[in-house]
């Protein structure tokens, strides 16, 4: 009898267990420009200036699904001449199934866990776009989404303290 009760209890808990699953990856927007081609292919400077901007957004799609989007804009320039070699913009998103996640953990899941899963795919798209554009692979450094989230929380806390 006790085995049956344990099985029933496990079944009840399993129905309420948190679920975190990437269901779909998709590109919302992709742009690659090489305004100084073909001259850009012959610039001899081995070091390039990289300006990288990252924006993260999320929105609730339905009761259990969220869209998390990484928007990356990168401008790569020749350090010697200042000429733009290429400009890459990608808006890459993932649809995530998020069920039974406690409300107090939802912001961390959306700001840390989802982007951490999404970023390697976004990075691959950016790398492939640079190769397809005729340039060497553009490898973005890994991003510490947890650190970014902690920094945001700290700034919000400081703003609250100043307001009081």
Q: Tell me, yes or no, whether 96 lies in a domain.
A: yes
Q: Tell me, yes or no, whether 61 lies in a domain.
A: yes
Q: Identify whether the C-beta of residue 68 lies closer than 8 Å to the C-beta of residue 58.
A: yes
Question: What are the pLDDT digits (tens) for 65-103?
Answer: 999 999 999 999 998 888 999 999 999 999 999 999 999
* pTM of the predicted protein model: 0.83
CATH code of 148's domain: 3.10.420.10
Q: Tell me, yes or no, whether 83 lies in a domain.
A: yes
The structural domain count of the chain equals 1
Question: What are the pLDDT digits (tens) for 113-140?
Answer: 999 999 999 999 999 999 999 999 999 9
Range of the domain at 45: 19-158
Q: Tell me, yes or no, whether 101 lies in a domain.
A: yes
Q: Tell me, yes or no, whether 5 lies in a domain.
A: no
- Which letter, b or e, does each residue of 99-138 get, where b requires 16 or more Cβ atoms within 10 Å of its Cβ? eebeeeeeebbbbbbbbebbbeebbebbbebbeebebeeb
Q: Tell me, yes or no, whether 88 lies in a domain.
A: yes
Q: Tell me, yes or no, whether 72 lies in a domain.
A: yes
Q: Tell me, yes or no, whether 152 lies in a domain.
A: yes
The pLDDT score that the predictor gives to residue 42 is 84
HSE (CB half, 13 Å, CA atoms) of 20?
16
Whether the pLDDT of residue 109 is over 90: the answer is yes
Structural tokens at position 121: 């795919």
């Amino acid at each position: 009898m006790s085995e049956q009760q344990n099985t029933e209890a496990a079944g009840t808990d399993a129905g309420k267990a948190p679920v975190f699953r990437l269901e779909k990856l998709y590109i919302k927007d992709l742009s690659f420009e090489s305004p100084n081609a073909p001259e850009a292919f012959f610039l001899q400077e081995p070091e390039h200036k990289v300006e990288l901007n990252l924006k993260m957004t999320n929105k609730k799609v339905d009761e259990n699904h969220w869209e998390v989007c990484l928007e990356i804009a990168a401008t790569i320039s020749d350090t010697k001449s200042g000429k733009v070699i290429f400009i890459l913009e990608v808006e890459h998103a993932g649809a995530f199934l998020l069920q039974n996640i406690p409300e107090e953990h939802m912001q961390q899941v959306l700001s840390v866990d989802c982007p951490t899963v999404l970023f390697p795919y976004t990075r691959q798209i950016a790398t492939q776009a640079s190769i397809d554009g005729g340039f060497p692979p553009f490898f973005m450094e890994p991003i510490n989404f947890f650190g970014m989230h902690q920094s945001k929380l700290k700034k919000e806390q400081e703003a609250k303290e100043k307001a009081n």
